[in-house]
Structure 1
C-alpha cells in the first residue's frame, strides 16, 4: 500500500497507451511520484484522445491495450512501489453508434430497457413524445428533398444514414423478413413521402443542428449535443457504470478514484455515499483497509464556497489550489523566493 504523495497525470489514447505509459514508470518513480493518475480507461468513441466520451463503461478500452495492457501497467507500477488512480465519468456518455445503450433507445424508444437510464424528457413540447436529435446539416424538408437521407443495411438490420452518421430504425418500421429489405429500401428511396412515413415511425425526431439549443430533450454535458447525461441516482445505472472500477479496486490494481463533473449529478451527496461504501467493500476484498482507497471529486469552488462537509470524499482535485499556485508563479515579486527555494531543494 502506497501513501498518496504526488501524482502524474497521464492522458491516455491510441498513440500513448498502457504499454507506452508502463515504459515511463521508472522515470516517474525516480521523480518521486507515488501514483499514476490515469485519464478514463473505459471504452470511448473510436479515436478519442481523452476518454471522456465513453461508450461502454463496463469494458477497458481496446485502443489503450484492453484488460491485459492495463494489468501490465499495474504490474509495472507495483514493481516500483507506485499506485494507480482512475478518472471515472459517471455523469454522461457519448451519443455515438458504438454506444449500445444509446442505440437501443434510438431503436426502441420508451420500450428500451435503457430508456430510463438516460435523462430524457419524453414529453417535452414539440417533440411528439420522441427523442429530438439535432443532427441534420439542413432542415428536415431540405434533407429529404436533397436526398442526403437514405436507407441502408448494417449488421443490426435496416438503418438510416446521413453522411457518416448511421441511426438504427425501429423494428416496427420495416418488414420483418430480411430478404424483403432491399426491395423495401428501393421503394422508400424513390418516394419522399415513403421516407417521411418511415421517419414518423421512429423513436427519434430528426432536426437541423441549429435547433439543438431550443428543442433537445435530453440532458447534456453543458451544451454538447454529443454527450448525453445518465441518471446516476438509479441503482441499476450506478451498478452498471461502476462495476469495472470497483472490480479493479477489489483485484488490487486501483488505489483511488477521481470523479469527473460531480456537480452534474442529481444527488452528489447520495452518490458519493454509495460510491464510498462500494470502495470500502472492494478494499476489504483486496485485503486493504477502507482508508487505503482515496476518493476525490472534480468540484470548482467559488471564492466563498467550501466543499460540503457531508460529502463522503477526501477532497477536490484542487482547482482552487491550482489558482493560488498560478497566482504565485505569475507574480514577478515571487521570483527571488522561488529561485532560493528551488536552489535549496535541488542544489
Structure 2
C-alpha cells in the first residue's frame, strides 16, 4: 500500500458522483497527482452537498453510485495510476438514523444506547424536535432549541449527535465499510474529520492503525501558533492548516500591521486588541450555544459554571491532551493552569474524574471553533487573509528563517494545502489581500472613497470592501450570500438563530449598490503584484515537505469565498482563461509531476539569496530540485527590482521547468525570474 505523493480533493455531490470522478481520471493523471482525495462516501442525508451528515455506516452512498460504482471508479483510477483517499467522520452522525431512532423508541434498553454520548436524565434523553414525525415515547423529552439537548453534538449542531467510537463495538460497526475498502485495496489513505471531538483521539488512532495496517492517515487537527501535533498520535500528520497559515504569512508584509489595524479601528469602531474581541466572542457563543454543555461539565467536575466559562474563554488551543489514569503532560498542565481563574478549577479538569477530564477537552474544541472561527474572525479583520482556520489575525507576516525552521520540523508525510472545503476564502483571494499589507495607504484611500458613495453597517462594511475587491468580479448574488453569512456569524446585528429581517434587507441593498462601483480598477492595481503571490505560495506549498493537496479547481485561479461558495461545481478539465490561469496551471502541473519523480525522501535544504533584495526571495532545495519564489513584490518593485541580488545554485546544471532556461552556479535573480516571479529547477546533468 503506497503513501501518496500528492492528492487532489474532489467534492462529491448527487450530481458529481463516482462515475464523474472516473471520467476525469485522465485529466488528473496528466496534472501529476498520485491520489484522488474524496469527500465522505458513506450514506448521508439525502441531497447532502458535503456528506458529513452520515446516517448509515453500512452503505456507500447510493446517490454517488453505491458500492459497485465505487469499485468501478477505483478500477478506472488505478488504470490511470491513481489511487483513492477517503474522508471519514468518526465523531458524529446525523440524528435521522436507525440506531438513534431505536434509542428514542426503547430508551436505555435499546441495543444502540451505547452508540451515542448521551446524558440520561431519569432514564430519558433530552432532544430537540429534529423531525416533524418524531414518534411519541416515554424515553425522551422534547425541549426548546434554546435549551441544549442531552447528548454531545458536533459543535452546536443538534442534528449531529456524538458517537462513542472509544467503544470497540461502535468503532467496528461505524468503520466496517471503510475497512473492507482498505482490505480490497480500493482505498490507500484516510483523512480523519475532527479528531478533537473524540473521547480519546490517541486511542482511536491506535485502533485505526492496528486494523488498517498502517495506511496513510492525516487528521483534521487545528494547531494554534507554535502548537505541534502530539508525538504519540498514530498518524502521518495534519490536513495542512498549520502549513497554510505559515505559507500565507510569507507573503504578508509585517510593516502593514500598524496602518491596517488603525484603518480597521477607524472604519469599524472595533477594539484594536484582537484578544479582547476573541474573549468576548467566546463568551457570547458559550451563552448562546453551549450553556448545557458547560452545566453538564460543571456537574461532573464539581465546579462552578462561571469558573468553567472563564477557563474555556482563556484556553488558547482547541484541546489540551490529558488521558485519565496517565501522568499529565507538562505542556497541557501549563496551558490549563495559565488559563484557569484559580488552581481549583485547573485541578478539577486535569486531575478530576475521568469524565470531567475528557468532557472538558471535548468542550474546548466547540468553544474555539464557534467562538473564534465562526465569530471572532468575522468581527476582527484588519487584513482578512489572516482570518483563516487556525490563523492568528493579529500576527502579520512570517520571516523566511522562521519558515525554514518550521519546515525542518515537519512530518515527512503530513498533508499541505492552501485551499480546502472549509477555508474562509480561497488561496487566490488571499493572494490579492496579501498585497494590501504592502499598499495600506492606497487601500485606505480607495476604501474611504467607496464608503463615501455606499455605506451600511460600520461593523461589516470594511470586511465587505476587502471581500469585494479580492473576489472581483463577483455577482451581486454571491456577494450578498457571503455578506449574509458573515453578518450572521458575527452576531452583532443579526444571526442564524435571531435574524433581523430589516437589517438583512438593508444588507442586500448595500451589496447591490456596492457591486456597481468600479472596484475592478483597484483590483487591477493589486493584480500586478497578486500574481507573484499566487504563483509563489502555490510553488512553495507544492514543493515543501509533506504531501501537497490541490483543492478542486485551484490548479488555476479561483476566487471563491467561504462555504458553500467554495463547494460550487467545477468544470473539468480546468482550462485556463487568462495568462494568470496559464501560469498557475503550469506551475501546478510541473511541480506535481516533479514531485512524482523526486520520491518521498528528498531532503529539504534552505537556500539564501545574496544581495540587497535578498529578503524578497524564498528558496529551497529538494534533492535534485530547487524552488524559488518572489515575496513582498510591491516593495521589491519600489526598490527597483532585484538589482545584483543572486542565488548560488548547487553544483551542476539546472533547467527551469517553467521556461526551459539552463542555469548553474551564482545566478542573478533578475535573470532567473525575468519571465515568471517563480522558478522551478531540476538538475539537468544526471
Q: TM-score, normalization: structure 1?
A: 0.73
Question: Hey, what's the Cα distance between the residues in 2 that align with 1:5 and 1:64?
Answer: 26
Match status 1:135 vs 2:447: no
Q: Partner of 2:222 in structure 1?
A: 300
Gaps of 5+ in 2: 252-430, 439-528, 540-582, 588-655, 660-686
User: Structure 2 matches for 1:59-208, cutoff 5 A?
Assistant: 59-96=59-96, 99-123=97-121, 128-135=122-129, 165-170=132-137, 202-208=138-144
Q: Tell me the distance in 1 between the aligned counterparts of 2:140 and 2:65.
A: 35
- The 3-state SS of whatever aligns with 2:142 is strand
Instruction: Tell me: higher relative CO, structure 1 or 2? Use CA pairs within 8 A at least 6 residues apart.
Output: 1
Tell me the CA shift for residue 9 of structure 1: 0.6
- Report the Cα distance in structure 1 between the residues aligned to 2:36 and 2:151, rounded to whole angstroms: 35
Q: 1:313 maps to which residue?
A: 235
Counterpart CA distance in 2 for 1:102 and 1:89 is 17
Preserved CA contact (<8 Å) 1:60 1:67: yes
Q: Residue 203 of structure 2 is aligned with which of 270, 278, 297?
A: 270
Query: 2: distance between equivalents of 1:14 and 1:337?
Result: 35
Deviations 1:38-66 (A, max 9, x none): 11100001111111000011210111110
- Looking at structure 2, the residues matched to 339 and 94 of structure 1 have their Cα atoms a distance apart, in angstroms, of 40
- Residues 260-312 of structure 1, C-alpha deviations (whole Å, 9 max, x = no match): 000110011111011001011xxxxxxxxx5xx20111100111211111111
| 1:253 to 2:186 alignment | yes
2:29 is equivalent to residue 35 of structure 1: no
Indicate the SS of the match to 2:49: coil
Contact (CA 8 Å) 1:134, 1:210: kept in 2 or not? Answer: no
SS in 1 for 2:85: strand
For the residue of structure 2 that corresponds to 1:40, the secondary structure is: coil
Shift of 1:217: 1.0
3-state SS of paired residue (1:113) = coil
- CA RMSD in angstroms comes to 2.0
The structural deviation recorded for 1:253 is 0.3
Q: How many residues align?
A: 269
Match 1:323 to one of 240, 245, 270: 245
Q: Measured at CA, do residues 68 and 204 of structure 1 come closer, stay the same or move farther in structure 2, by a change above 3 Å? A: same
Q: Distance in 1 between matches of 2:222 and 2:105?
A: 37
Task: Decide whether aligned partners of structure 1 residues 304 and 3 sit closer, same or farther in structure 2, where only a CA change above 3 A counts.
Answer: closer
Q: Residue 327 and residue 103 in structure 1: after superposition, are their counterparts in 2 closer, same or farther (change >3 A)?
A: same
Cα distance in 1 between the residues matched to 2:24 and 2:76: 10
| TM-aligned CA deviation for residue 328 of structure 1 | 4.0
Indicate conservation of the 8 Å contact 1:2/1:81, yes or no: no
Contact 2:3–2:216 at 8 Å: present in 1 too? no
Change (3 A) 1:268 1:22: same
More strand by share: 1
Q: Quote the residue 2:326 is aligned against.
A: none
Deviation at 1:115, TM superposition (A): 0.7
> Any stretches of 5+ residues in structure 1 without a counterpart?
137-163, 171-201, 281-289
Change in CA separation of 1:167 and 1:35 when aligned onto 2, cut-off 3 Å: same
Distance in 2, Cα, partners of 1:337 & 1:28: 25
Between the aligned partners of 2:199 and 2:145, the Cα distance in structure 1 is 27
In the TM superposition, residue 20 of structure 1 has moved relative to its aligned partner by 1.0
TM-score, length of structure 2 as denominator length: 0.38
CA distance in 2, matches of 1:121, 1:241: 21
Higher helix proportion (structure 1 or 2): 2
* Deviation string, structure 1 residues 142-189 (Cα, Å, up to 9, x no partner): xxxxxxxxxxxxxxxxxxxxxx6222344xxxxxxxxxxxxxxxxxxx
Distance, in Å, in 1 between the alignment partners of 2:533 and 2:247 is 14
Return the alpha-carbon distance in structure 2 between the equivalents of residues 236 and 168 of structure 1. 27
Highest CA radius of gyration, 1 or 2?
A: 2
**Structure 2: how far apart are the matches of 1:67 and 1:101?**
22
Q: Conserved in 2, the CA contact under 8 Å of 1:87 and 1:258? A: yes
Separation of aligned partners in 1, 2:190 and 2:534: 32
Q: Structure 1 CA distance, aligned partners of 2:106 and 2:78?
A: 46
In 1, Cα distance between equivalents of 2:176 and 2:152 = 23
Structure 1 residue 27: Cα displacement: 0.6
Quote the residue 1:148 is aligned against: none
Q: Which residue of structure 1 lines up, in the alignment, with residue 381 of structure 2?
A: none
In the aligned structure 2, how far is the partner of 1:38 from the partner of 1:339? 25
Residues 86, 190 of structure 2: 8 Å contact kept: yes
Residue aligned with 1:165, SS = coil
Preserved CA contact (<8 Å) 1:3 1:34: no
Deviation at 1:4, TM superposition (A): 1.1
Tell me if the contact between 1:2 and 1:34 (Cα under 8 Å) persists in the aligned partners.
no
